[in-house]
Amino acid sequence: MSDSNTILKIDDLHTHYDTPQGTVRAVAGTSLEVHRGETVGIVGESGCGKSVMLRSILRIVPHPGRIIGGSIEFTRRDGETVDMVKLDPNSRKIRSIRGDEIAMIFQEPMSSLSPVHTIGDQIIEAIVLHKSVSNTEARSIAIEMLGKVAMPRPEQIVDQYPHEISGGMRQRAMIAMALSCEPRLLIADEPTTALDVTTQAQILDLMRRLQSEFNMAIMFVTHDLGVVAQMTEHVVVMYMGQVVEAGSVKELFTAPRHPYTHGLLHSIPRLGQRKLGRRLVSIKGSVPDPFARPSGCPFHTRCQYNDGDRCVREEPALREVMPGHSARCHYAETLGLQGVDKPAEAINA
């Protein structure tokens, strides 16, 4: 529910790609809210629109993608609420929000680090752009931030180039840069997928610590439900550009209301089974062709509860089934889907 703690409110967002083959409705009516200091996990199979939705927030959707409807209200530090959709993506206003109040980190650190500048120069540039400090002050903030992200020898790393340090260190440098302006909202698009398990655990731990220090909200995309259970309080499940279920981690894991979420939970190995990896891979069937969106409920082609009638004809709305828990299924109240006993089970799987 929208209240004074809401810092981001996306309402019925549509972002499309017009291609010679037709229109891809990458984001097809997404609505969600993020509150101050909260971590929201975003999950869904590859291609469901997670990255396009996140890029829409910052207005960095690459051509030919464009937002064709909906609103993205962001509440700024000074209390002003702006609709990001209405801003010119090159305006001074949006540039003062990007990187300063909302920062984004990507799966691949080189998409935000420049290969031809030192780590320090890049962090310093970000700081000087948004804060009124001298270069010398910015340099000490940069070193301090590198220390906070547990970078070894920050005083030396600050003068090195990205190619001179390891992948895990580059990831830390990117996080240091993103956090150097103390954003209100950090958008993390699979920030640890490319890392080994030990480094991933360290980075997640670090993000949690920094989050409580800065009281920032995090939107966190991951394919790993163990990471969701460990990192987030609230989960948003996406399918074909829409939110199909949203609620607290505990509710979603123990009592899912949408057959798709149920499928995701049961596509990970349970305790006592052989460890097979935890990526979301084994839901029956595959995501439909984005150019041929199914009628009615977009999930009906893969849903074992498809009634062959209403599910095929009528698109369900996202509606609240319990306070703070919503689902987009005609039968959300009646299916009685099984969850996992404890979210922690997914972590230990």
Ligand X SMILES: Nc1ncnc2c1ncn2[C@@H]1O[C@H](COP(=O)(O)OP(=O)(O)OP(=O)(O)O)[C@@H](O)[C@H]1O
By CB under 6 A, residue 52 contacts ligand X: yes
Phi and psi torsions of 169, nearest 5°: -70, -35
**What is the C-alpha to C-alpha distance for residues 262 and 260, in angstroms, rounded to an integer?**
5
By CB under 6 A, residue 49 contacts ligand X: yes
- Return the range that interacts with ligand X (CB under 6 A); candidates 41-49, 126-134, 277-285, 298-306: 41-49
- Return the range that interacts with ligand X (CB under 6 A); candidates 46-54, 228-236, 278-286, 340-348: 46-54
Name the minimum Å distance from CB 38 to ligand X: 21
- Return the range that interacts with Mg ion (CB under 5 A); candidates 1-9, 24-32, 44-52, 271-279: 44-52
Sign of CA dihedral 299, 301, 306, 307: positive
The site partner of 220 among Mg ion, ligand X, none (C-beta below 5 to 8 Å per kind) is none
CA 3 to chain centre: 21
Name the minimum Å distance from CB 188 to ligand X: 13
The site partner of 290 among Mg ion, ligand X, none (C-beta below 5 to 8 Å per kind) is ligand X
Residues contacting ligand X: total by CB under 6 A = 13
By CB under 6 A, residue 48 contacts ligand X: yes
**What is the C-alpha to C-alpha distance for residues 170 and 223, in angstroms, rounded to an integer?**
21
Across 56-82, b (16+ Cβ under 10 Å) vs e yields: bbbbebeeebebeebebbbbbeeeeeb
Report yes or no: 298 and 242 within 8 Å, Cβ to Cβ: yes
**With respect to ligand X, which residue has the nearer C-beta, 26 or 141?**
26
Count of Cβ atoms closer than 10 Å to residue 46 Cβ: 12
**What is the C-alpha to C-alpha distance for residues 50 and 189, in angstroms, rounded to an integer?**
8
H helix or E strand, kind and range, residue 229: helix 225-231
Sign of CA dihedral 340, 212, 7, 102: negative
Residue of 6, 30, 51, 192 that binds Mg ion (CB under 5 A)? 51
Q: End-to-end alpha-carbon separation of the chain, Å?
A: 33
**With respect to ligand X, which residue has the nearer C-beta, 26 or 157?**
26
Report yes or no: 147 and 155 within 8 Å, Cβ to Cβ: no
Name the minimum Å distance from CB 258 to ligand X: 17
Site string (276-315) toward ligand X, x via CB under 6 A: --------------x-------------------------
**What is the C-alpha to C-alpha distance for residues 26 and 73, in angstroms, rounded to an integer?**
20
The pairing of strands 39-43 and 81-83 is unpaired
By CB under 6 A, residue 46 contacts ligand X: yes
**With respect to ligand X, which residue has the nearer C-beta, 25 or 257?**
25
Residue of 7, 8, 10, 24 that binds ligand X (CB under 6 A)? 24
Give the interface with Mg ion as residue ranges (CB under 5 A). 51
Give the interface with ligand X as residue ranges (CB under 6 A). 17, 19, 24, 26, 44, 46-52, 290
